[in-house]
Structure 1
Amino acid sequence: MMMLRIRSRDGLERVSVDGSHITVSQLKTLIQDQLQIPIHNQTLSTNRNLLLAKTPADFSGFSDMNDPNLRISSLGLGHGSMVYLAYEGERTIRGGPAVTPAGSFGRKMTVDDLIARQMRVTRQEKSHCDSVSFDRDCANAFQHYVNESLAFAVKRGGFMYGTVSEEGEVEVNFIYEPPQQGMEDNLILMRDAEEEKRVDAIALGLGMRKVGFIFNQTVTQDKKEYTLSNAEVLLATQLHAESDLKEWVTAVVKLEINEDGGADVHFEAFQMSDMCVRLFREGWFETEIGSEDDPKLSKMKKEVVLGVKDVKEVDNDFFLVVVKILDHQGSLSCTFPIENRNIQTTTRALKTHMDRSRSLPFVKRISDFHLLLFVAQFLDVVSDVPALAECVRLQSHVPEGYELLIDSMANS
């Protein structure tokens, strides 16, 4: 007799089996008997991404356990192994043991018990954001830095700025990287309020706004068991909760081994679910993460209802809503040195940039967010910064005063 762990949208459950010699068909029968999920509704896989699938069409992409006669031992499954389960419809839960009342009015319930029974965690099927499209240059500049300079050894993050359509389509046109300290398993943002005012002033002039946050996962993270770690969920949810934008996007850059043994850089995009953001805003999350805590689980201060259980730990995947990724070529360049990296940006960099693009119209030469942020240090954040950025947005003539200032800075 051995036990398999079954992870579904209802959380983690266990199924007892006779041994690893059983077939997929027999396993499905045991799941039907023990978990009350009809065989014809079940999709099984050893791939954890099955939990992110939303529709039967998505389920069909996971075929490793489609053969009913396949022995589970051939999949490397043994005692304690994890199998992922997706199913359609609702399940009928077998009644639990009878409860002996404590006193004439039954068990006493605390206010926390009552609140927890109202806080039911379910998977959110549809995101508020229909898609997120990345400007190729700004996305490449971010991934190139974490790949070539940081070697995916430490974390790096940035705020994404762009536009949101009425249909919920997000476009990311530049990424602002705040002061930060990246480590193997954590990212600490050391935000500069004055610098962020300049960033927002530039965005205002460009007709854009803050639309999300992007970060990379490191090669040392064991990502086989989770999509985002508990620390990553906390940071992503905190930043989402700060925003008043329902289409707010969290993007992740990761290095994955391909079939040839090489490494490919992948982008993934999510929204934190409405329930996740609500739990954070109302203070349900445990914000202190211990070294012994399971990174694939987020701890709650009080029990919540997950499926049919009262739990204090929630699988992080329950909080993620997948967002489709597209790309586009925006109007901004991304060749000026990027802020808050290892090498400090100086006026020499400005001169090099301006000299290199001397053949272009002046407005085209300054059509780079990172250049505008550097120049904004010397301009009035309320009037001058949005005005200069608006020239870039409209590709219109730059007033002589701004042109003289930028040229003098470059030649200083």
Structure 2
Amino acid sequence: MIRFEVESGITFQQFRIMISKKLKVGLKFLKLTREDKKLFKSSDDKKTLQKLGIVHGNLIILLPKCLDQEKIQKEKEQKKQEEEELKRKAEGIIIGPDLGITDEHNEEQIIELENEWDSKQEKELLMPILDRIKEGKIVLPYYLQVRMKNLGNNSLSMSVIDWLDETKPKISHQEKGDCIGVEFDFQSGNAFHSFVSNTNYEIPRVGYLFGTVNNDGSVTVDFIYEPPQKVLPKTQRVYILENEEEFKLMKGISKLLGLKPVGWVVAHKPKRSKRKLMKAWQIIQAARIQARFGEHAVTVIACPRKSGKAQFEAYQVSNQTVELVKQNKVKLSSRDYTLDFFERVIVEKKKEMSAGSYFFMITIPIIIHQSFLKNNFFIENRGPWNRGDLNVHLMTNKEKSWEEKFSDPHFLLFLAKMEIFSLKTDFPMLCTQIKNKEKITSGFSLMLEMFQN
């Protein structure tokens, strides 16, 4: 039981507002009766308590169901807001927090906020976003919508700016990657790096890594497939020209060998930066690779030491970077080791339009291992292949066993592309024998010798 002390001249509506605030129950859910359980009507709101016969000592009863009804209604509204928020997020719309200021008796709070006004400064700061608000791409919280309605679209409080800052992406460095380490085949790495070495590091090169994702979260790289590619001389950026048919063959062969794509590698001239940083175009490409090949996909960078020998470094980009690239919120900068944003973001508590490579990349430990595969055949897309390459390969490696000749992914791709062996009928048995290090069935070697002759 709650006791109220009121003036005799107040209306029943004013009395209801007092009860509403005290019990924290919305006005529309407040159902009151007299002691005789006779319900008050909406027409009673404008009458005074005296006129209604309410005097000192009278008991006013709140229906118990009021609280249940309000709870049910709030749950419905909350569910509806969650559904709308999911829908808007799917459409790329920014959603404002719901502060729950919806009842008439809360207008006082809105009026208090309106007194914190500086329209000139706010108009200048907020003009760029007004069109987006009108188009519905930015949905403000309820109390700010009311103020816009009452004071005009060009009048918003400074709290809008604070709220918009809260919705901006906060760029932070991710300490650990999804991949805990890389085992990198040194033969494949050296064969790959030899391309840039032979061109005096003037033409960079990229390739896809094929291997396995291990149970502990590490990645083992067994060979490198080099897709068709083009280099822009001024920027030294490499563009991959996908050959879908060839890549499908390579994936099919690797699957039969128990392998799959696990990342990409790029080889280029020595870095200008002394710090171990990825270039901006490499970060964007790495994000696309991780989105395409899976969260454990890695980036390996090969560049020469002072001695000229290859040095390999492994990286991943953060999960946040993958999402930013997916949503097309970043772009290349004029600076090699910086990414630009299309809209301001928060970087180390400051509003910025760009951020350095450090914020996007994660260094991954890398060690060298020896794969069960070889690198003896001409590597794809460094020059045109023809059937005469088979004779050269067999003559050059005539002292080697058929197991060594066949255990070369580039040679297997050649056999598939030239339709010498069938991916459906010949490769399953051949790849199983290679994978298990078994003796190659003599039928395969006889077929090659017949084809050679």
TM-score by length of 1: 0.66
Matches within 5 A, 1:141-290: 141-147=191-197, 149-184=198-233, 185-219=236-270, 222-224=272-274, 227-243=277-293, 245-257=294-306, 263-286=308-331, 289=332
Matches within 5 A, 1:6-17: none
C-alpha distance 111-194 of structure 1, shift in aligned 2 (>3 A): farther
- 1:129–1:248 Cα contact (<8 Å) kept: yes
C-alpha distance 108-132 of structure 1, shift in aligned 2 (>3 A): same
State how far apart, in whole Å, the 2-side matches of 1:125 and 1:360 are. 47
Aligned-pair CA distance for 1:111 = 9.4
C-alpha distance 296-400 of structure 1, shift in aligned 2 (>3 A): same
State how far apart, in whole Å, the 1-side matches of 2:363 and 2:403 are. 38
- 1:253–1:266 Cα contact (<8 Å) kept: yes
2:416 is aligned with 1:376? yes
C-alpha distance 312-408 of structure 1, shift in aligned 2 (>3 A): farther
- 1:154–1:183 Cα contact (<8 Å) kept: no
C-alpha distance 362-224 of structure 1, shift in aligned 2 (>3 A): closer
State how far apart, in whole Å, the 1-side matches of 2:164 and 2:407 are. 55
Gaps of 5+ in 1: 1-97
User: 1:138 maps to what in 2?
Assistant: 188
| Per-residue deviation, residues 217-251 of structure 1 (Å, max 9, x unmatched) | 235x63347722222222222222222x2111101
State how far apart, in whole Å, the 2-side matches of 1:268 and 1:335 are. 24
Choose the corresponding residue for 1:395, options 437, 442, 448.
437
C-alpha distance 396-265 of structure 1, shift in aligned 2 (>3 A): closer
Aligned to 1:241, the other structure's residue is in SS state helix
State how far apart, in whole Å, the 2-side matches of 1:271 and 1:309 are. 25
> Quick one: which amino acid aligns to residue 169 of structure 1?
S
State how far apart, in whole Å, the 2-side matches of 1:381 and 1:99 are. 73
> Quick one: which amino acid aligns to residue 179 of structure 1?
P
C-alpha distance 111-363 of structure 1, shift in aligned 2 (>3 A): farther
| Per-residue deviation, residues 108-154 of structure 1 (Å, max 9, x unmatched) | 459975541xx22111111221211111211111112211x221112
User: 2:449 maps to what in 1?
Assistant: 407
State how far apart, in whole Å, the 1-side matches of 2:361 and 2:213 are. 20
C-alpha distance 141-263 of structure 1, shift in aligned 2 (>3 A): closer
Choose the corresponding residue for 2:377, options 333, 336, 346.
336
- 1:351–1:410 Cα contact (<8 Å) kept: yes
Q: Aligned residues: percent identity? A: 25
Aligned to 2:447, the other structure's residue is in SS state helix
C-alpha distance 406-113 of structure 1, shift in aligned 2 (>3 A): farther
State how far apart, in whole Å, the 2-side matches of 1:316 and 1:383 are. 48
State how far apart, in whole Å, the 1-side matches of 2:248 and 2:428 are. 11
Aligned to 2:158, the other structure's residue is in SS state coil
C-alpha distance 320-386 of structure 1, shift in aligned 2 (>3 A): farther
More strand as a share of residues: 1
C-alpha distance 256-203 of structure 1, shift in aligned 2 (>3 A): same
State how far apart, in whole Å, the 1-side matches of 2:257 and 2:354 are. 43
State how far apart, in whole Å, the 1-side matches of 2:183 and 2:117 are. 53
TM-score by length of 2: 0.61
Matches within 5 A, 1:57-136: 102=122, 105-109=157-161, 115-116=167-168, 119-136=169-186
> Quick one: which amino acid aligns to residue 271 of structure 1?
Q
More helix as a share of residues: 2
- 2:286–2:298 Cα contact (<8 Å) kept: no
Aligned-pair CA distance for 1:399 = 4.6
Aligned to 1:198, the other structure's residue is in SS state helix
- 2:407–2:434 Cα contact (<8 Å) kept: yes
State how far apart, in whole Å, the 2-side matches of 1:351 and 1:111 are. 70
Q: Which has the larger Rg? A: 2
Gaps of 5+ in 2: 1-115, 123-154
RMSD: 2.7
Aligned to 1:266, the other structure's residue is in SS state strand
- 1:241–1:280 Cα contact (<8 Å) kept: no
C-alpha distance 376-355 of structure 1, shift in aligned 2 (>3 A): same
Give the total of aligned pairs.
Answer: 300
Aligned-pair CA distance for 1:356 = 3.9
Q: Larger RCO: Structure 1 or Structure 2 (Cα < 8 Å, ≥ 6 residues apart)? A: 1
User: 1:29 maps to what in 2?
Assistant: none
